[in-house]
């Protein structure tokens, strides 16, 4: 109940600020936008993750492994949310804030080194969510072991079971990407509106830190997949 109230409070605060002319005219408030939208989405994750995961139905055309994985992340949306939220925080604190800062640096003809220096200062903020993201995979060990055992009893091959783990990771990564881009675009649009009077002028997408986003998502995909496979293998050990 408390997280929901905090999320709603952040959302109301953001809407109230958007109605303030002084807020809309200040380019630096793109950073505030990213923070407020993130503070709104994180506590309310339990309300929207389920509907958001409906996009995974598109993966059914990719085969049985993808269909099983997509159904699993939808059926266990609470577990999926526990994976999505920490990684979303990492991406939001780096890509979201960094993209808004990128617009400011470009507008002021600043050096790109200043942008990366700013991101380096933000790196400690991303540390705790990253640890939580790694820990959430391990905490759900029993659930993964049970899933693997069920697939094994149903006659699924080792390769098929590994593919299910990989597709589950894909579902989580794409969901994180969608949320991160939503926050990033909101921050960039707020900054651009203050600078040029339009949220999406020509070339606005260049401000998005695509490479850092790809790095975060790539690392997430590898880590979540490998941890999932290690947990699955650990669950097959005798006496477990």
Asked, for residue 137, whether it belongs to a domain, the answer is: yes
Instruction: Note the pLDDT tens digit of each residue in 199-228.
Output: 899 888 998 999 989 998 999 899 888 887
Average pLDDT of the chain, as a whole number: 82
C-beta pairs of 16-19 under 8 Å, 24+ apart in sequence: none
User: How long a stretch of residues is the chain?
Assistant: 240
Q: What is the pTM of this model?
A: 0.86
In this prediction, residues 111-128 reach a mean pLDDT of 61
pLDDT of residue 127: 66
pLDDT of residue 239: 43
Instruction: Note the pLDDT tens digit of each residue in 43-93.
Output: 898 899 999 999 999 999 999 999 999 998 998 888 888 889 888 988 898
Looking at the 3D structure of the chain, how many domains does it have? 1
Asked, for residue 220, whether it belongs to a domain, the answer is: yes
Asked, for residue 240, whether it belongs to a domain, the answer is: no
Asked, for residue 239, whether it belongs to a domain, the answer is: no
Q: What percent of the chain has pLDDT over 70?
A: 82
Residue 161: domain span: 2-234
Contacts of 220 (CB under 8 A, 6+ apart): 87, 133, 169, 172, 173, 176
Asked, for residue 197, whether it belongs to a domain, the answer is: yes
Other CB atoms within a 10 A radius of the CB of residue 125 amount to: 14
CB 183 within 8 A of CB 41: yes
């Amino acid at each position: 109940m408390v997280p929901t109230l905090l999320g709603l409070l952040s959302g109301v605060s953001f809407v109230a600020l958007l109605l303030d002319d002084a807020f809309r005219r200040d380019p630096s408030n793109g950073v505030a936008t990213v923070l407020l939208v993130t503070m709104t989405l994180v506590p309310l994750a339990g309300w929207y993750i389920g509907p958001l995961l409906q996009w995974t139905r598109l993966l059914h055309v990719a085969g049985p492994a993808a269909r099983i994985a997509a159904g699993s992340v939808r059926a266990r949306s609470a577990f999926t949310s526990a994976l999505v939220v920490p990684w979303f925080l990492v991406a939001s604190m780096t890509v979201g804030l960094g993209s808004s800062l990128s617009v400011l640096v470009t507008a002021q003809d600043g050096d790109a080194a200043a942008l990366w220096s700013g991101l380096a200062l933000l790196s400690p903020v991303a540390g705790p969510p990253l640890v939580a993201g790694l820990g959430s995979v391990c905490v759900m060990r029993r659930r993964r072991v049970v899933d693997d055992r069920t697939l094994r009893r149903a006659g699924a091959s080792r390769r098929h079971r590994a593919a299910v783990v990989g597709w589950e990771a894909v579902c989580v990564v794409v969901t994180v990407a969608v949320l991160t881009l939503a926050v990033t675009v909101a921050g960039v649009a707020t900054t651009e509106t203050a600078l040029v009077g339009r949220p999406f002028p020509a070339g606005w997408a260049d401000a998005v830190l695509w490479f850092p986003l790809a790095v975060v998502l790539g690392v997430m995909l590898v880590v979540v997949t490998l941890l999932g496979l290690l947990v699955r293998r650990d669950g097959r050990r005798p006496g477990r």
